[in-house]
């Protein structure tokens, strides 16, 4: 009898299992595919490894800007196989590290599909596992809409998902990307940087519909400037092998590519849970503030609960669920979950957008500071972007921070900590930031929310 069985070994599941063991519980982890889940094996980590390759390639192309001579740009080549090998090496090292952590903490790992018999019984192969508490961390998968011809194109290997894009044998000369969300933007960034002619088709009027509008439009303009063709207000009609037929501004238009990347959202993996009696809908399993489902002692974390599809949130939910099992009332403030987009430059945000703050009735002050006025950004040749702070006017409480910068995903943590402590722009402005650093733009924007920035 286990105290906790976790089904799903992604960043939510394996963290939950380790935390349970650390709190003295007898814990088991069930995983049908690869430890680390989508994030470590086919998502977050491999894409970031390839994006680094692409960034290095772009840096070499800009060698003359930095005073480096002798680079024969016409002879530069992309060794996609070697890039893939480096990606696989990074993934293997991290996955092996997680396996080692599970073993070190005494978590029993069962590889195979977990079949739910009831809330206390999981069958894996010929093994019957019993548990007092169950944590469901089965994740999500790409959502494939019923578009005429799309499935046929996928069967022929032309239309692919993000996982397929990581397994390509070569960099395609032309690619059409369906969708304008985070995954679409990151792959558009990657392949455009490697020389692919990328066309991104977006149904709404702009990419990244859940991102602060000013930030999203700034990145959209930059991607277009870098050569990505972005078609907005595009209604997908059908797919004919390598051709996508759409309606744009009342006219039928065709776009073709060697590969068609389908990135039109994800759906939770809730199949096979009927015996548990848990409540779920198309977004995911319903949970309360403590991540418990309608069935006592059954919890759901990560993508499968339909809140946000973020690896770092899944990990935080895993810890939270285990703490609740251990008797500590623990919950997550979902208003302070940071989001990151690994484009060139990166986007990162936490808290409310400007529009959301106004909709909720706050008297807001908005302050922005550009990278073009930052010494470190200019020295590094990375002056595209800005930081935007949304604060409550009377007391200066920070409501949201949005960053477009080369290291935005690292910089956003300052804002997360500040907001977690209910910090104000006065606190951030008062905190001495090292010089020269990109982080100074956050301090400068805080000064701007109070009065005026110093260097702009």
**Edge-to-edge strands of the sheet including 234-240?**
234-240, 243-248, 251-256
Please state, rounded to an integer, the average pLDDT across all residues of the chain. 96
Range(s) for CATH 3.30.390.30 in the chain? 345-450
Instruction: Name the CATH superfamily for 345-450.
Output: FAD/NAD-linked reductase, C-terminal dimerisation domain (3.30.390.30)
Q: Which two tokens stand for residue 275?
A: 């015996």
- pTM (predicted TM-score): 0.95
**Dihedral over Cα of 65, 66, 67, 68: its sign:** negative
**CATH topology for the 2-142+267-334 domain:** FAD/NAD(P)-binding domain (3.50.50)
Instruction: Tell me the DSSP string of 386-446.
Output: EEEEEEETTT-BEEEEEEEETTHHHHHHHHHHHHHTT-BHHHHHHSPPPSS-TTHHHHHHH
The pLDDT assigned to 448 comes to 96
Instruction: Name the CATH superfamily for 150-264.
Output: FAD/NAD(P)-binding domain (3.50.50.60)
d(CA 228, CA 49): 21
Tell the residue number behind the tokens 């499935």, with chain if given: 151
- Please say whether the beta carbons of 39 and 11 come within 8 A: yes
The pLDDT assigned to 74 comes to 87
447 has pLDDT over 90:
yes
Q: Which of 222, 435, 447, 455 is catalytic?
A: 435
> Does residue 139 have a known ligand-binding role?
yes
Q: Count CB atoms within 10 A of the CB of residue 289.
A: 12
The 10s digit of each residue's pLDDT in 27-50 is 999 999 999 999 999 999 999 999
444 has pLDDT over 90:
yes
In 3D space, the residue among 425, 424, 428 whose CA is nearest the CA of residue 414 turns out to be 428
The pLDDT assigned to 53 comes to 97
Q: What SS3 class is residue 241?
A: coil
Q: What is the mean pLDDT of residues 191-200?
A: 98
> Does residue 3 have a known ligand-binding role?
no
The 10s digit of each residue's pLDDT in 254-306 is 999 999 999 999 999 999 999 999 999 999 999 999 999 999 999 999 999 99
- Please say whether the beta carbons of 139 and 300 come within 8 A: no
d(CA 348, CA 434): 21
Q: What is the mean pLDDT of residues 314-338?
A: 97
Range(s) for CATH 3.50.50.60 in the chain? 2-142+267-334, 150-264
> Does residue 124 have a known ligand-binding role?
no
Q: What is the mean pLDDT of residues 315-336?
A: 97
- Please say whether the beta carbons of 46 and 90 come within 8 A: yes
pLDDT band at 101 (very low <50, low <70, confident <90, very high): very high
The 10s digit of each residue's pLDDT in 294-311 is 999 999 999 999 999 999
> Does residue 138 have a known ligand-binding role?
yes
> Does residue 181 have a known ligand-binding role?
yes
Q: Count CB atoms within 10 A of the CB of residue 197.
A: 16
> Does residue 319 have a known ligand-binding role?
no
228 has pLDDT over 90:
yes
> Does residue 48 have a known ligand-binding role?
yes
> Does residue 186 have a known ligand-binding role?
yes
Active site residue 435: yes
Q: What is the mean pLDDT of residues 190-210?
A: 96
Instruction: Tell me the DSSP string of 147-167.
Output: -BTHHHHHHTTSEE-HHHHTT
The pLDDT assigned to 73 comes to 87
> Does residue 332 have a known ligand-binding role?
no
The pLDDT assigned to 97 comes to 97
């Amino acid at each position: 009898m286990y105290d906790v069985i976790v089904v799903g070994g992604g960043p939510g599941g394996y963290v939950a299992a380790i935390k349970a063991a650390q709190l003295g519980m007898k814990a088991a982890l069930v995983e049908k595919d690869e430890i680390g889940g989508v994030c470590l094996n086919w998502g977050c980590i491999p894409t970031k490894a390839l994006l680094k390759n692409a960034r290095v390639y772009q840096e070499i192309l800009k060698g003359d800007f930095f005073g480096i001579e002798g680079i024969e740009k016409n002879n530069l080549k992309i060794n996609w196989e070697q890039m893939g090998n480096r990606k696989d090496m990074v993934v293997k090292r991290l996955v092996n590290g997680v396996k080692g952590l599970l073993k070190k903490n005494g978590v029993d790992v069962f590889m195979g599909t977990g079949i739910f018999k009831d809330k206390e019984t999981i069958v894996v192969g010929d093994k019957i596992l019993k548990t007092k508490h169950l944590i469901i961390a089965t994740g999500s998968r790409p959502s494939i809409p019923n578009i005429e011809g799309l499935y046929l194109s996928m069967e022929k290997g032309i239309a692919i998902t993000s996982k397929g894009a990581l397994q390509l044998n070569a960099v395609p000369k032309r690619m059409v990307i369906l969708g304008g969300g985070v995954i679409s933007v990151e792959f558009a960034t990657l392949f455009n940087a490697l020389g692919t002619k990328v066309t991104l088709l977006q149904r709404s009027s702009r990419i990244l519909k859940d991102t602060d509008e000013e930030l999203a439009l700034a990145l959209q303009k930059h991607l277009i400037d870098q050569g990505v063709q972005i078609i907005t207000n595009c209604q997908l009609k059908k797919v004919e092998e390598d051709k996508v037929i759409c309606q744009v501004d009342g006219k039928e238009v065709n776009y073709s590519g060697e590969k068609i990347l389908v990135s039109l959202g994800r759906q939770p993996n809730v199949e096979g849970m009927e015996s548990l009696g848990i409540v779920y809908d198309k977004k995911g399993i319903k949970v309360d503030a403590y991540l418990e489902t309608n069935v006592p002692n059954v919890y759901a974390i990560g993508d499968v609960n339909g809140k946000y599809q973020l690896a770092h949130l899944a990990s935080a939910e895993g810890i939270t669920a285990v703490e609740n099992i251990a008797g500590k009332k623990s919950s997550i403030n979902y208003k302070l979950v940071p989001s990151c987009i690994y484009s060139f430059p990166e986007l990162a945000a936490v808290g409310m957008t400007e529009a959301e703050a106004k909709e909720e009735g706050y008297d807001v002050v908005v302050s922005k500071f550009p990278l073009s006025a930052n010494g470190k950004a200019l020295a590094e040749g990375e002056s595209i972007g800005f930081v935007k702070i949304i604060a409550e006017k009377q007391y200066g409480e920070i409501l949201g921070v949005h960053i477009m910068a080369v290291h935005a995903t690292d910089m956003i943590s300052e804002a997360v900590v500040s907001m977690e402590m209910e910090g104000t722009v006065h606190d951030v402005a008062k905190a001495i930031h090292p010089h020269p650093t990109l982080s100074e733009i956050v301090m400068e924007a805080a000064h701007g929310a109070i009065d005026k920035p110093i260097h702009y």
